[in-house]
Amino acid sequence: MRSASSVEHFPYKNSTNCYIEVFPDGTVRNIAHKNKSELNEIEAVYTRICNRESRLFCAWPGKYSTNLFEIDDLNAFADAFGFICETNPDEHIHSFTWEVDEKNSTSRTAYVKIRFTCDCESPLYDAREKFDTFLQKHLGWSVATSRGRSGGSGTIGLYVHLATLNGRKGSFNTE
């Protein structure tokens, strides 16, 4: 058995991987990870691993043999699946303000354009899937993935389903 951290660019999202969660009492679970709908379960597994409630292993099939790895780099695992890693106590505090871009949104559309102003320096805002997942988890927003996004100089524009918004402007801070 090897550790995932010993492999440069471990393929966490490889569809042929088989994830196995093992609990201290010997209970074993297969963890599905191929569909976006399974992201909540992956994050629940990640939380249990962080809390030392279980361990995660991955059978990674190779061309001639299958290798077993312990998932020990939780930062890389969280990053691969697009959610915020919470294992570092000195984790960056995310802070931003947002408002509906009234000029580019009408009352007849299901999605409205949101303009974000980032009050912090974070690579989160540069990673689309990770930022969209963050908004879904912390604000309950449904972000359009089929529309473009704009940005520059600390401002991001993206489209959010109007029914998931709570108001026309606001702020957020992870403190």
Same domain? 104 vs 72: no
Task: Tell me, yes or no, whether 86 lies in a domain.
Answer: no
Task: Tell me, yes or no, whether 88 lies in a domain.
Answer: no
- Domain ends where: 81, 104, 126? 81
Same domain? 74 vs 100: no
What domain range includes position 19? Answer: 2-81
Nearest to 81 by CA among 28, 119, 126, 44: 44
Write out pLDDT tens, residues 97-130.
778 877 766 666 777 888 777 666 655 555 666 6
Write out pLDDT tens, residues 123-161.
555 566 667 777 777 778 888 766 555 555 556 777 788
Task: Tell me, yes or no, whether 87 lies in a domain.
Answer: no
Same domain? 105 vs 36: no
Same domain? 8 vs 46: yes
Phi, psi (5° rounding) for residue 107?
Answer: -75, -10
**Sheet with 111-118, edge to edge strand ranges:** 150-152, 155-161, 111-118, 95-100, 169-173
Please tell me the predicted confidence (pLDDT) of residue 28. 95
Write out pLDDT tens, residues 12-56.
888 889 999 999 999 999 998 877 777 778 888 988 888 889 999
Matching residue, tokens 């695992």: 77
Same domain? 73 vs 30: yes
Same domain? 156 vs 125: yes
Can you tell me the distance from the alpha carbon of 67 to that of 4, in angstroms, rounded to the nearest whole number? 10
CA of residue 102 relative to chain centroid, distance = 28
CB 99 within 8 A of CB 115: yes
Task: Tell me, yes or no, whether 32 lies in a domain.
Answer: yes
How many domains, the chain? 2
